[in-house]
Amino acid sequence: MKLIALCLGACLSVVSLAANASSTTYVRYQHLGKIGYGKLVEDSIYPLKGDIFSDSSLSSRKMSVRDVNLLLPTKPEKVFVVQAQKQLGETQANDYQFSFKLPSALISKGVPIQIPTDAKNIEYSSSLVVVIGKQSKNIDTKQASAAIFGLTVGGDLTEPNWLQRDAHSLRAKSADGFAPIANEIVRGLDFTRIHVSSKINGKAINDDALAEMTYSPAEVVSELSQYFTLKPGDLIYIDLPTHTVEVKDNDVVSVSLNGIVKVENKIMF
């Protein structure tokens, strides 16, 4: 039994390495009062010149991660939340459920999430987050693939009692800190090999292959573009229903993408 477990672990490591082999990681940072993007290689950042979403080049100089302040990955105009779990045999657009968050709900990893005092219970859904790289409207899935800059992970916090009480999801999903997100953006990942794993207080909640449970990022982006103009830096949280848990005071929740990007925050009531 122990041998089987070791073999499975080795196989997963090989799959993870293969999936991440051609990927590139970027971060947004502040250094000496200036904000920029850079390519992250281990503990070093290589600054980018120009606009990361349209025309940029890599600088030869590098900085240590320890010497900069890592920021939210983008300054989005819009932050969408999409529930897009596939049901066997169903491929219709009405499988999608859309909602949104205010950009002010975004919070970086490591920052405690202070829950409002009148919240009764909080649900945390782990999410794959799509980062838009091109302005897009009414696009098909092929065009949507080209419109995606990269991927990261985050958490979708919801207060279900507020959701029932209000006529909309604004308060229930957009309170300050209700959208934790990793600092890194990853490009070049193969969707068929993406795994998102979640933990609460160090205990695994789930580890899922996204290709088996959700529409592809391109399908989600295409569907959203039928209703909204997507702009560079916009974020789309794709919720993973099997990764939804109710959180309590002092819980620490983490979400990881292929083991290379992680967001982790402490919940405080």
- The pLDDT confidence band at residue 94, using thresholds 50, 70 and 90, is low
- The pLDDT confidence band at residue 206, using thresholds 50, 70 and 90, is confident
Quick one: pLDDT at residue 236?
Answer: 98
Quick one: pLDDT at residue 35?
Answer: 97
Going along the chain from its start, the domains and CATH numbers come out as 22-71 (2.30.30), 74-268 (3.90.850.10)
Quick one: pLDDT at residue 86?
Answer: 62
Short-list 123, 122, 134, 146, CA closest to 217: 146
Q: How many other C-beta atoms lie within 10 A of the C-beta of residue 118?
A: 8
pLDDT digits (tens, 9 = 90+) for 161-172: 999 999 889 999
Quick one: pLDDT at residue 87?
Answer: 55
With 0-12 / 13-18 / 19 or more C-beta atoms within 10 angstroms meaning exposed / middle / buried, residue 249 is exposed
Quick one: pLDDT at residue 191?
Answer: 84
- The pLDDT confidence band at residue 21, using thresholds 50, 70 and 90, is low
| DSSP track, 115-143 | --TT---EEEEEEEEEEE-S-BSS--HHH
- Percent of the chain with pLDDT strictly greater than 70: 88
- The pLDDT confidence band at residue 240, using thresholds 50, 70 and 90, is confident
Measure the CA–CA gap between 189 and 151, rounded to whole angstroms.
Answer: 8
Q: What average pLDDT does the chain have?
A: 89
Bridge partner residues of 73 (DSSP): none
pTM of this structure? 0.90
Quick one: pLDDT at residue 136?
Answer: 98
- Percent of the chain with pLDDT strictly greater than 90: 74
| Residue 242 or 218, more confident | 218
Measure the CA–CA gap between 107 and 181, rounded to whole angstroms.
Answer: 6
Short-list 257, 250, 241, 233, CA closest to 28: 233
Buried b (16+ CB within 10 A) or exposed e, 130-169: bbbbbebeebeeeebbebbbbbbbbbbbbbeebbeeeeeb
Quick one: pLDDT at residue 111?
Answer: 98
| Residue 96 or 161, more confident | 161
pLDDT digits (tens, 9 = 90+) for 107-132: 999 999 999 999 999 999 999 999 99
Quick one: pLDDT at residue 22?
Answer: 81
Measure the CA–CA gap between 169 and 158, rounded to whole angstroms.
Answer: 9
